[in-house]
Structure 1
Amino acid sequence: MTNPVGNRLFTLVEIPAVVGLLAMMVHTVANAFSRTVFGDPISGTLERVQYWYMPLVVLLGFVIAMHRGEHVWADMFFTRFPAAAKRYVAASASIVCAAVCILTVAYSFDHAQHNRDIELTAGLTDIAAWPLTYLVPITFALFAVQYVRLGWKQVHDKDIDDSGSTFAVSPESDQAADTEKAR
């Protein structure tokens, strides 16, 4: 059973991540070309990559990976519990992770507000760095929602395996579970 609304919403998350990755690649190659051929690099390339492209690609990439179930499962601890307790241990861990994400949202939003107030720039340049600091609370809010959904799924889903991969927050595809079982 797929969730078309959730998939469409996460397409909205994927688009800026892909655009950021492509822009970073084009900008970096153009800078290297300009430096090599003309002896004059594009000013602010390092700052734009560091303060704009990388946060966009990395933070949104984490959210996308969790949504697709393509993140790493560390199940050494999880496999030691009896089958009856696994779902509750996994759900409890998800709720703790959601709580940590919510605390991170509160802290990082306050930090982003401060960065906006002081008009944070990238290094010694005039390139504004403060707008992307709002991406941190947005990302961790999405993580919190994903972890709450994951906890709900862990308690109510009847299928359970030793790796915990059945509990991945993914668009209900069997491909992620098949990949985990093949490993």
Structure 2
Amino acid sequence: MAEPNPTLPGVTRLLQALTTIAGVALVLMMLHICADVFMKYVFNSPVQGTLEIVSGYYMVIAVYLPLPLVEWLRQAIVVDVVFIRMPRAMKIACVLIVLASLVAVYGAFAWQTWLDAMRAYGRNEIAMGPAQTVIWPARFVLPIGFGLASVIGLWHFMGVLIGFERESWLGALDIEHTGE
């Protein structure tokens, strides 16, 4: 699906940068795990803190930083068995309800994860394992991902409500309209 609003290239660049960071985290995770396995089986000395760093940093970054780009490009999973049979007015209402729900849920997640991140920061949260690992900085990835996804959802909601994105949403979601 094409970018919903090509007149905002700065937004796309920001979201692609976040996704690139997530990709780098995936590569680092792979290298870290490979090094851990190599050290464990060759030298009988695994890399300390691998589990904590992989689960506390790499995985969180890889999952939550690309979320806003997925919403911006409207690449979430869609099941439209009923939607394609609805009249146009119902389709618009349905899209607006879904987008309003998306904004509310992502916004609530962003708020709660921000509070959690601030608590973790306040107590200098660490993961206890073979090595103590400071994990509070990774807690801020969630409110960034959820917050940007919520803002993007609001952008789409306003676009459908005002009309500048309405046809692109209906065309993208209507299989009969796209000729597929």
In the alignment, what sits opposite 1:127?
A: 133
In the alignment, what sits opposite 1:163?
A: 173
Q: Could you give the per-residue CA deviations for residues 93-151 of structure 1, whole angstroms, max 9, x where no partner exists? A: 20121022222222111111111112111233421111111111111111111111221
In the alignment, what sits opposite 1:169?
A: none
Code of the aligned partner of 1:130: W
Is the CA contact (8 Å cut-off) linking 2:99 and 2:156 kept in structure 1? Answer: yes
Is the CA contact (8 Å cut-off) linking 2:99 and 2:157 kept in structure 1? Answer: yes
- TM-score, length-scaled by structure 2: 0.82
- TM-score, length-scaled by structure 1: 0.81
In the alignment, what sits opposite 2:63?
A: 58
Shift in Å at residue 158 of structure 1?
A: 2.8
Shift in Å at residue 164 of structure 1?
A: 5.5
Relative to 1, partners in 2 of residues 1:49 and 1:162: Cα closer, same or farther, differing over 3 Å? Answer: closer
In the alignment, what sits opposite 1:28?
A: 33
Cα RMSD (Å) of the superposition?
Answer: 2.3
Is the CA contact (8 Å cut-off) linking 1:79 and 1:162 kept in structure 2? Answer: no
Q: Could you give the per-residue CA deviations for residues 10-41 of structure 1, whole angstroms, max 9, x where no partner exists? A: 12212211111111011011111111211111
Among candidates 145, 153, 166, match of residue 159 of structure 2 = 153
1:84 matched to 2:89: yes
Consecutive unaligned residues of structure 1, counting only runs of 5 or more, are 166-176
Q: Could you give the per-residue CA deviations for residues 40-73 of structure 1, whole angstroms, max 9, x where no partner exists? A: 1101111100000000001113223223333211
For 2:84 and 2:128, the matched residues in 1 are separated by: 46
1:101 matched to 2:109: no
For 1:164 and 1:140, the matched residues in 2 are separated by: 27
Is the CA contact (8 Å cut-off) linking 2:124 and 2:134 kept in structure 1? Answer: yes
Relative to 1, partners in 2 of residues 1:83 and 1:117: Cα closer, same or farther, differing over 3 Å? Answer: same
Indicate the percent of aligned positions where both proteins have the same amino acid. 24
Matched pairs, number = 169
Shift in Å at residue 80 of structure 1?
A: 4.7
In the alignment, what sits opposite 1:172?
A: none
